[in-house]
Structure 1
Amino acid sequence: MSDDPARNYWRDGREVYVPRAHPRPETVDVAVVGSGFTGLRLALDLARGGRSVAVLEAEDIGHGASSRNGGMVGPSFHKLGMAGLTAHYGAERAAAIMTEGMTALDDFEAFLAAEGIDCGLTMAGRFRGAPTAASYEATARECERLEKAVGLPYEMVPRARQQDQIGSDFYRGGVVYLRDGMIQPRMLVEALARRAEDAGAMLFERTPVSGLTREAGGVALRLPDGVMRARDVVMATNGYGAAQATAPLGPRVVPILTGVAATEPLSANLMGELTPQGRAFGENRRVFMWFRPTPDNSRFIFGGRIGPMRAGDARRARAVRAAATRVFPQLEGVNFSHLWTGKIAYTQDHAPHLGRIDGVWYAGGYCGSGVTRSLYFARKLALKILERPGSETAFDGLDFPRIPFRPFAPLAAAAVTRWSALRDVIDDRRRD
């Protein structure tokens, strides 16, 4: 799969972001490794807090998931759900973690408004389809728990009223998450980068970090042509970066490759048929697909662990078309103009994490739901580094286990994905 930015719909036609030129300093207050949403928001807040900040990016600014994701925003609830969290942490901690998902979304909207950032935000809601009657009932029960615990606004949609939400007969009803929305993620990357530089942060592209050495008073970062020393170091690489070079985050997350595709332009009538309310979509499956209209409502974008990620464009397009027409038979014969991939980062406990281990700060492991959470975690981590009030989160103190046999974890994850996809196919054939 080509890594040409033109293959990525979010970047196609946009000018390349070029950071301002700076001589690279030998010493800074804070070195941030990674220039995605987390790293750039951190750099912005830290620079405004009076720290000298260098953002070190191995590729170009926003190269990773922040420029490759679906641009879907929402409360980013924990993957285990209320029942799973309660069993693991108890009712009080579970409710606090879930409540913070709602808080992160509020913070995200407030930040965009305060900064005057235009990234195509529209809070149109998201319909999540249930492929079986049993999954519909399970979704309803989970939403009831979330409404009671954190005030989640939602609407259950039975199969008889499904066509009001989606131009498909595939699902057996579903739920509308009323507080979900969509953005153009590359626009947000560029806006964060500009504001971080305006605040005084220095952004350095093509500057991979190959390792860290703890020293008295800080950390030395090994760069291709020398060493940079920093009092504080933050790993904000999420699913990107070598495990050992990006410790402590790298050894504790599993990078999983996902694929995304954008259709050719579609007619206004067809777009209105596919999404009557202009909503985004997801589904309650083991290996789920997300899909959404583009901000100009001219195309549809599909994403997830769909087909062979490292195959050529023709094979990838066939796999995406098969997944898309499973839901929307109307798209049979439609071509895909853009095909790209990206890495998400999963953790052993299915939770995102932030904190400090062995003198190095980190934030990441968003498990595929990082748009709102990444900016929120960045703000909280900046407050911790600045030693200012308001830094506390419900995620503080959560154990962050290493991934056993980390070098082999991506292979294991791929095998689990294939098995889970097979089980989804079996369920499709057996459903009522």
Structure 2
Amino acid sequence: MPFPGERIYWHDHSVQPPAPGTPDLPDRVDVAVVGGGFTGLSVALHLARGGRKVALFEAASLGYGASSRNGGMIGPGLHKLGITGLRKAYGEDRAKDILREGLHALDHLEDFVTSEQIDCDLHLTGRFRGARTPAQYEASAHECDWLSKNINLPCHVVPAADQHTEIGSDFYCGGNVYHRDGGVHPRKLVAGLTRRALDAGVTIFAPCAVTGINREATGLSLRTDLGTLTAREIVLATNGYSDGRTRALSRRIVPIETGASAIGPLSPGLMAELSPKLRMHGETGRVFMWYRPTPDGRSFIFGGRFGAGGMPLEARQKAFRHAITRVFPQLHGSPFSHVWSGQIAYTKDHSPHLGHHDGVWMAGGYCGSGVTRSLYFGTKLARRMLGEAQAGTAFDDLPFSPVPFRPLAPMGADMLARWYQMQDARDLKARDLNRDTVS
């Protein structure tokens, strides 16, 4: 349920996904898909086009979860372990394969949106990632060089003296521009996916929760709000909104609550000052902020692991204001138009996964980079189920293990985030002291 006072920017600037109608619940289907976001809709679409009789169930409205609450930022996604962490964990060659998979996922998203003629404001504007400290600038410069040479990712370094060509702020110590990043309107993408799925013959039930799954002699039995049906196969695509009803996936991911807000509309002059090239934006740091201009270029959306739904609206706005104005003091008095929250899913190894576990198919654990990955993984999973070619990914043989002490994991993740925030604050304090000394 939404928290009091929440308003989602994307919901106020898009048409609703097409209504699925009120179909009768069938006795049996080939595949039942649980979850009506990017992953569920994409896997259902591909399966239906492959000749399967598919029913999709969404407990709330289509795209209710992260699929219409995210920032709409796309890109290769890279990896939460970073280049050094990946090479240490998997070796040089495997690290390159995993990072290249992000480029394949982005290519897939572009091709899909273009070929399906989905109007979702897809624009590859690039992303400027600011470095909070000189040490992080040096590290990000090395990263940019390595990515360019080893996986052909187009990026370039922006020194502090030139960063005003990218951002109207003195907060950073330079940064990188990643040219293959960009943005979409996620709510419009949900709507486009829904239309294609319905056209392909997917039967959609929303709102209709799946309340239980049992294995029987005739197949897998699903209990739903509308009754019970049997499916030959089941796909779990609930990601950060997984719970006891989808336990096979829930026990393998840790839901993380994040917050987002929109400020504006702003004057064209101020927008041009904040982001001269209207790029996507991010920053280094353990707990970082992402931000972007809205597709119409009139407002800015900010998000991160602060200002989430577990606090009063005023406190959430205060947390956002603090994070935003240390980068953009110009926005000190600018009004919030929207504040909302949502859940993403992390995994034990910080990698996304797809495959067959505990008798069901599943995909998820996108670790905050789900817009690009979810459509790609949904299609890959469907291809695997259909026995088609080009179904493999670089993540396939990574074990999708249950999270130890899963009921306590969200609390542990919150404590770790607080510790990271303290370390980030320490780094910024040391940086500012050094700037004062130099000046």
Which bin holds the TM-score, normalised by the shorter protein? Answer: over 0.9
Instruction: Give, in whole Å, the separation in 2 of the partners of 1:270 and 1:111.
Output: 34
Alignment of 1:275-314 (within 5 A): 275-307=275-307, 309-314=309-314
Q: Does 1:249 align with 2:266?
A: no
- Check conservation: 2:218, 2:230, Cα contact below 8 A: no
The offset of 1:324, in angstroms, is 0.4
The amino acid across from 2:187 in the alignment is: R
Q: Which residue of 1 aligns with 2:155?
A: 154
- Check conservation: 1:235, 1:247, Cα contact below 8 A: no
- Check conservation: 2:66, 2:343, Cα contact below 8 A: yes
Instruction: Give, in whole Å, the separation in 1 of the partners of 2:159 and 2:218.
Output: 60
Instruction: Give, in whole Å, the separation in 2 of the partners of 1:117 and 1:15.
Output: 13
The amino acid across from 1:427 in the alignment is: D
SS of equivalent residue, structure 1 residue 47: helix
The amino acid across from 2:321 in the alignment is: R
Instruction: Give, in whole Å, the separation in 1 of the partners of 2:69 and 2:78.
Output: 21
Q: Does 1:37 align with 2:53?
A: no
Provide closer, same or farther for how the CA distance between residues 5 and 351 of structure 1 changes in structure 2, counting only shifts above 3 A. farther
RMSD, aligned α-carbons: 1.5
Instruction: Give, in whole Å, the separation in 2 of the partners of 1:215 and 1:385.
Output: 20
The amino acid across from 2:388 in the alignment is: R
Deviations 1:367-419 (A, max 9, x none): 00011111111111110111111111111121112111111111111111112
- Check conservation: 1:5, 1:12, Cα contact below 8 A: no
Q: Which residue of 2 aligns with 1:50?
A: 51
SS of equivalent residue, structure 1 residue 361: strand
Q: Which residue of 1 aligns with 2:437?
A: none
Instruction: Give, in whole Å, the separation in 1 of the partners of 2:22 and 2:59.
Output: 16
Deviations 1:99-135 (A, max 9, x none): 1111110111011110001100111100001000100
Instruction: Give, in whole Å, the separation in 1 of the partners of 2:372 and 2:322.
Output: 30
SS of equivalent residue, structure 1 residue 171: coil
Provide closer, same or farther for how the CA distance between residues 80 and 251 of structure 1 changes in structure 2, counting only shifts above 3 A. same
Q: How many residues align?
A: 431
The offset of 1:218, in angstroms, is 3.0
Q: Which residue of 2 aligns with 1:336?
A: 336
Q: Which residue of 2 aligns with 1:421?
A: 421
Q: Which residue of 2 aligns with 1:221?
A: 222
Unaligned runs of 5+ in 1: none
Q: Does 1:189 align with 2:211?
A: no
- Check conservation: 2:281, 2:290, Cα contact below 8 A: yes
**TM-score by structure 1 length?**
0.97
Provide closer, same or farther for how the CA distance between residues 82 and 218 of structure 1 changes in structure 2, counting only shifts above 3 A. farther
The offset of 1:308, in angstroms, is 5.2
Q: Which residue of 1 aligns with 2:95?
A: 94
- Check conservation: 1:170, 1:327, Cα contact below 8 A: yes
The amino acid across from 1:363 in the alignment is: A
Unaligned runs of 5+ in 2: 435-439
The offset of 1:24, in angstroms, is 1.0
Instruction: Give, in whole Å, the separation in 2 of the partners of 1:308 and 1:64.
Output: 14
Deviations 1:342-374 (A, max 9, x none): 000000100000000122100000000011111
Instruction: Give, in whole Å, the separation in 1 of the partners of 2:4 and 2:318.
Output: 20
Q: Segments of 4+ in structure 1 off by > 4 A?
A: 1-6
Provide closer, same or farther for how the CA distance between residues 216 and 88 of structure 1 changes in structure 2, counting only shifts above 3 A. farther
Q: Which residue of 2 aligns with 1:350?
A: 350
Q: Which residue of 1 aligns with 2:262?
A: 262
